[in-house]
Amino acid sequence: MAAGSVQLVLVCAPAVSADQVNTVDQQVCPAVAGQSFHLQQQQAYVLAPESAGYIDSIAQPFDYTAAAGFWGLAFTSIITLWLVSHGSGAIVNFLRRS
């Protein structure tokens, strides 16, 4: 199921010169601080309302506490495996030399 669809939308884009602006542009996109705008057609991916909850749930900020927990578990596991293998190697070398 698609989360949205590609549609054409109208945006107010800054006008390079006042010659580009017509009366419809002035009515829909009023000038701000002397900057004129004109209507421009643009292709955009518009989300469907029923998929907004799903998109919002996966767009959460990064959880540093959970990441620190995973990193700590992985680091502890690697150090434990290294110590066990180092100890096993020491026992094997002791048995080999005796």
pLDDT mean over 1-18:
87
pLDDT tens-digit readout, 20-59: 788 888 899 998 988 889 899 999 999 899 988 888 888 8
Residue 1 predicted with pLDDT over 80: no
> What residues does each domain of the chain span?
1-60, 62-98
Q: Say how far apart CA 54 and CA 57 lie, in whole Å.
A: 5
Structure tokens at 89: 């190697």
Could you tell me the CA-to-CA distances from 50 to 39, 46, 47, 61, 90 in Å, in that order?
29, 12, 8, 22, 62
82 pLDDT band, cuts 50/70/90, is very high
Mean pLDDT, rounded, for 59-81: 95
Name the pLDDT band for 92 (thresholds 50, 70, 90).
very high
